[in-house]
Amino acid sequence: MSYFEKVKNTEINPNAIILAVESSCDETAASVIKGGREVLSSVILSSATEHIKFGGVVPEIASRAHTTAISKAVEQAISDAGITLTDLDAIAVTYGAGLLGALLVGVSYAKALAFSLNIPLIPVSHIRGHLSASYIADKNLKPPFISILASGGHTAIIKVDDYYTYDILGQTLDDAVGEAFDKVARVLGLEYPGGPNIEKLAKQGSNNIELPKMLKGKKGYDFSYSGLKTAVINYVHNREQKGESVIKEDVACSFQTSAIDVLVEKALLAVKETGINTVTAGGGVVANGYLREKLTAECEKAGVKLVLPERKYCTDNASMIGAEGYLQYLKGNFANLDLNAKASVSLK
Ligand code: KG4
Ligand code: ZN
């Protein structure tokens, strides 16, 4: 009997122990999660320091770093969880979106392990994983809710109707918000990764530079970050050409305010228009302290329930892949050994 024949009718265990593997960018991550919401371990080995001198992730370097780190990450996750490999019910792996060479390391590893243990392999979308991080934050969270997705590759306001059905209310028409953070950071001479460094600098600055408010205040839920990014770049270059000083702290603070306020505003608009009174958020930019404070304050003011994943579950991690993997496991959505990696996957 083939591997898939053996696993396809696996009896579903509501308390399943799932090993999740994530290797879409520069973090090699492994996590063990029980019943979809209880994180037993979460290991992240990052190759970020190897990319600093290049100003961004170099795919080839990331792939090789995954190759050397993946066994270590999985062994550590299994040992931290206090289990053995034979306790696993399934293996979840990110198959997309991300860097192909990087994804293939996780996909190949997960396939081999699932095959050798004779347990199901669950293909997980990285984007859905970011949204499912909220299930870890609140064990009682149930759809429907409005979610802000804000990462390096995506920016959207999503209506989560049930565990499997999403409605994208609006999304970025050009750059993602995280991408804008990274590009502005580069212009300011800050090291990769740009987001956390902008946040640090912004704490010492003021929101006193006039920047486009993008689509803020306008109807609808779409975003545009390329205009904001260009305005910041032009501001810096114009002042430099005139020999005027650039107060980087103020640029960082003004940019951060413009970039984040619109996200918060659109999420609350969605609450108002749909009548859904719960907001969640996911993606690396949700680790941003200003976003967290502003969203918390606005939700409090409007009497809206807010579920925010801890920072470590906002940036790339494998626990969120386990949380989403569990939902797919309940549906019996298993992959065969020909599972391939995909550079992009649709938001839905
Ligand atoms: O979700 P993520 O880790 O990877 C993707 O799926 O893209 O998001 C990475 C993005 C990067 O653009 C990074 O600069 C941004 O999230 N980011 C932040 C912060 N931490 C990470 N942006 C603003 N403030 C932060 N503290
Ligand atoms: Zn991500």
Taking a C-beta distance cutoff of 8 angstroms, is the pair 91, 114 a contact? yes
Ligand 2 geometric centre to CA of 152 (Å): 7
The verdict on 215 and 73 lying in the same domain is no
Rounded to the nearest angstrom, the distance between the alpha carbon of 230 and the centre of ligand 1 is 19
Shortest-distance atom of ligand 1 to CA 127: 6
Indicate the helix (H) or strand (E) that contains 135. helix 126-137
- Report how far ligand 1's centroid is from the alpha carbon of 302 (Å): 27
pLDDT for the residue 52 = 87
pLDDT by position in tens, the chain (length 348): 999 999 999 999 999 999 999 999 999 999 999 999 999 999 999 998 899 888 889 999 999 999 999 999 999 999 999 999 999 999 999 999 999 999 999 999 999 999 999 999 999 999 999 999 999 999 999 999 999 999 999 999 999 999 999 999 999 999 999 999 999 999 999 988 899 999 999 999 999 999 877 655 566 899 889 999 999 999 999 999 999 999 999 999 999 999 999 999 999 999 999 999 999 999 999 999 999 999 999 999 999 999 999 999 999 999 999 999 999 999 999 999 999 999 999 987
List the one residue out of 341, 345, 334, 296 whose CA is nearest residue 63: 341
CA distance 317 to 43: 8
Q: How far is the CA of 4 from the centre of ligand 2 (A)?
A: 29
**Could you tell me if 29 and 51 lie in one domain?**
yes
Q: 339 in a domain, yes or no?
A: no
Question: 201: CA distance to ligand 2 center in Å?
Answer: 23
Closest by CA to 148, choosing from 304, 322, 265, is: 265
Residues 110 and 163 in one domain: no
Does residue 22 have its Cβ closer than 6 Å to ligand 1? no
- CA 85 to ligand 2 center in whole angstroms: 26
Alpha-carbon torsion, ordered 162, 167, 169, 175, to 10 deg: 110
Largest CA distance in the chain: 74
Provide the pLDDT for residue 11.
95
For residue 97, how far is its CA from the centre of ligand 1 (angstroms)? 15
For residues 119 and 214, membership in a common domain is answered with no
One domain, residues 15 and 114: yes
* Amino acid found at 6: K
Evaluate: CB of 96 within 6 angstroms of ligand 1.
Answer: no
Q: What is the 14 CA–ligand 2 centroid distance (Å)?
A: 27
Domain assignment of residue 229, yes or no: yes
188 and 67 housed in the same domain: no
Assess whether 165 and 22 both reside in one domain: no
Check if 92 has its Cβ closer than 6 Å to any atom of ligand 1. no
- Is residue 167 domain-resident? yes
Q: How far apart are CA 170 and CA 203, in angstroms?
A: 30
Q: Report the CATH number that the domain containing residue 17 is assigned in CATH.
A: 3.30.420.40
Does the Cβ of 196 fall within 6 Å of ligand 1? yes
193 lines ligand 1 (CB under 6 A): yes
What CA–CA distance (Å, rounded) separates 292 from 78?
32
Please count the structural domains in the chain: 2
Q: Looking at the domain assignment, is residue 347 inside a domain?
A: no
Can you tell me which atom of ligand 1 is nearest the CA of 126?
6
Task: Please report, for residues 172, 224, 255, the alpha-carbon distance to residue 220 in angstroms, rounded to integers and kept in the order given.
Answer: 12, 12, 22
- Bridge-based pairing of strands 278-282 and 145-150 is parallel
- Domain membership flag for residue 120: yes
pLDDT of res. 92: 98
Answer yes or no: is 235 within a domain: yes
Which of the ligands is closest to the CA of residue 283? Answer: 1
Q: Decide: 283 in ligand 1 pocket, CB within 6 A.
A: yes
Q: Whose CA is nearest to atom 8 of ligand 1?
A: 284
Q: How far is the C-alpha of 152 from the C-alpha of 160, rounded, in Å? A: 21
Same-domain pairing of 213 and 262? yes
Pocket test for ligand 1, best of 315, 319, 320, 324 (most atoms within 8 A of CB): 315
> 93 and 193 share a domain?
no
- Do residues 185 and 120 share a domain? no
Q: Quick check: pTM over 0.85?
A: yes
Whether 246 maps to a domain, the answer reads yes
What are the start-end ranges of the E strands in the chain?
17-22, 27-34, 38-46, 90-96, 121-125, 145-150, 155-160, 166-171, 278-282, 305-307
- Residue 155 falls inside a structural domain: yes
Neighbours of ion ligand 2 (CB under 5 A): 151, 316
SS3 165: coil
Containing structural domain, residue 177: 143-313
Q: State whether 101 and 168 are in the same domain.
A: no
**Domain co-membership, 159 together with 219:** yes
